[in-house]
Chain A
Amino acid sequence: MKKILLLVLFIVGATSCEKDDICDATTPTTPRLIIQFYDISNPTTLKPVNNLRIIAPGFTTGFSFTGVSKIQIPLKTTENTTTFSFMQNGGDTNTTNDNTDAIQINYTRENVFVSRACGYKTVFTLNNSNGFVRTDSTLPDGLWIQNFDIITTNIATENEIHVKIYF
């Protein structure tokens, strides 16, 4: 009888305090767009960006990258288009050396089940024709992004490079 009681206690203990409804940060969920920067004069060499500031139109805050050649930017999960201003030297206080290019990313979305704790994630497929579009900003200062390559249109994980930019 004591053994049965112990077994009962064990089962109750093992089943009662089960906590699995917190989404672990290491679980791959909605991916960001991964961009890597290369040297236009030597297209196989990585080139770190300096004081790159990325901001969405209408936003006052953005992302700043400096000294890195790989960046991550989020895509809108509610629309099929995300637009950003890529401001070269936009991260420093000097505004005279800024050069802004507008980047429009066009894609289709799909919501994929992850787990009970994480719910769903959105994965993106860049459009073949206009997946990544760069235009000069309203201030005609020329394009600082000389060229780009879409490496994969399938934005499902952050473990790979999606777009290469040459400058």
Chain B
Amino acid sequence: MKYMLKFTFSLLLILVSCIGTAQEVKTLDAAERSAAKKDSIVPKKERYGIRFGVDVVKLTRTFLEKNYRGIELAGDYKLTRKHYIAVELGNESKTVDDDQLNFTTEGTYIKVGFDYNAYKNWAGMENMIYVGMRYAVSSFNHTLNNYEIYNPNTYFGENLIIESGEKFNGLSAHWIEVVAGIKAEIFKNAYVGFSFRLNNLVSNNKPENFDNLFIPGFNKTSNGSFGAGFNYTISYFLPLYKSTIKEHPKKKK
């Protein structure tokens, strides 16, 4: 199973890098063509800076759902014309009320990775249609509020709900996310964006006599190690410096 995961991930990694290179080649070609056409135009400048924002979905759920509280801060830093370093930092607390179990999970997570922008912006814009990857770590604990003994034989009466309150502390999980999303400027320096994420657990430190049924940042886990996520961010771009778009050496051949 472990090997299969490794294999799947290597494959995903290769696929993502393929998408990356494919896009790069395309845009280079476009750049070549445009550069060839307009040789004597004033060099374009691009702004570099930090964008930071907050996940609106988690905030909304915090106000609407009684059993949920969560916040996620998201930030990215433009490293090159196409590459961004991206970080999400979050904290979640959720009470899950299932037929057989009622438990509360609380924890903090951080996701670090990169985004590759496949969208060719006009000068002065930092819109994104991107793919990316994250490595995520979550540290959390569960409180088992109550549970039911499952007994298919009810001769001695219906199954009792047992109040527990048992705590499972010091748990952690690591996973990798493949991200796809967009970010668009709505006002000057203000952006909205959403992203979809496919997650795969790399390690999952399970407690004795319970399971990590909910992992902050990863979401609900079912039998497999795959998960999916979604976020909707509102963010602000803080420009730090401007840089002239470098002319690619390839163009001069």
Instruction: Report how far A76 CA is from B158 CA in the complex, Å.
Output: 11
Within the complex, which residue of A8, A18, A78, A120 is in contact with B196, where a contact is CB–CB below 8 Å? A8
Minimal beta-carbon separation of A119 from chain B (angstroms): 3
Select the stretch in B72-80, B98-106, B169-177 that faces chain A: B98-106
- Quick check: A18 and B222 within 8 Å, CB to CB? yes
Instruction: Report how far A9 CA is from B116 CA in the complex, Å.
Output: 22
Q: Is B40 an interface residue (CB 8 A)?
A: no
Q: With a CB–CB cut-off of 8 A, which chain A residues contact B151?
A: 29-30, 74, 77, 121-122
- Quick check: A116 and B100 within 8 Å, CB to CB? yes
Q: With a CB–CB cut-off of 8 A, which chain B residues contact A56?
A: 155-156
Within the complex, which residue of A14, A21, A113 is in contact with B228, where a contact is CB–CB below 8 Å? A14
* CB-contacts of A43-68 with B (<8 A): 56, 59, 63
With A74-B153, A120-B147, A121-B150 known as contacts, the answer to whether A21 contacts B209 (CB < 8 A) is: no
Within the complex, which residue of B100, B153, B155, B196 is in contact with A119, where a contact is CB–CB below 8 Å? B100
Q: Is B148 an interface residue (CB 8 A)?
A: yes
* CB-contacts of B86-139 with A (<8 A): 98-101, 129
* CB-contacts of B31-88 with A (<8 A): none
Q: Is B180 an interface residue (CB 8 A)?
A: yes
Instruction: Report how far A15 CA is from B150 CA in the complex, Å.
Output: 27
Minimal beta-carbon separation of B221 from chain A (angstroms): 9
With A112-B209, A116-B101, A119-B101 known as contacts, the answer to whether A30 contacts B155 (CB < 8 A) is: no
Instruction: Report how far A64 CA is from B22 CA in the complex, Å.
Output: 72
Q: Name which of A7, A14, A30 has the most chain B CB atoms within 10 A of its CB.
A: A30
Q: Name which of B101, B129, B162, B198 has the most chain A CB atoms within 10 A of its CB.
A: B101
Closest to A18 in B: B222
Q: With a CB–CB cut-off of 8 A, which chain B residues contact A121?
A: 149-151
Q: With a CB–CB cut-off of 8 A, which chain A residues contact B211?
A: 113, 115-116
Q: With a CB–CB cut-off of 8 A, which chain A residues contact B249?
A: none
Instruction: Report how far A82 CA is from B156 CA in the complex, Å.
Output: 10
Q: Is A118 an interface residue (CB 8 A)?
A: yes
* CB-contacts of A18-49 with B (<8 A): 18, 20-21, 23, 25, 29-30, 32
With A21-B99, A74-B155, A77-B156 known as contacts, the answer to whether A11 contacts B196 (CB < 8 A) is: yes
Q: Name which of B149, B153, B198 has the most chain A CB atoms within 10 A of its CB.
A: B149
Minimal beta-carbon separation of B206 from chain A (angstroms): 10
Q: Is B25 an interface residue (CB 8 A)?
A: no
Q: Please provide the 5 A-B residue pairs with the shortest distance between their CB atoms, ordered closest to farther.
A: A119-B100, A30-B151, A74-B153, A29-B150, A15-B228
- Which residues from chain B sit less than 8 Å from chain A, CB to CB? 98-101, 129, 147-153, 155-156, 159-160, 162, 180, 196, 198, 209-211, 213, 222-223, 228
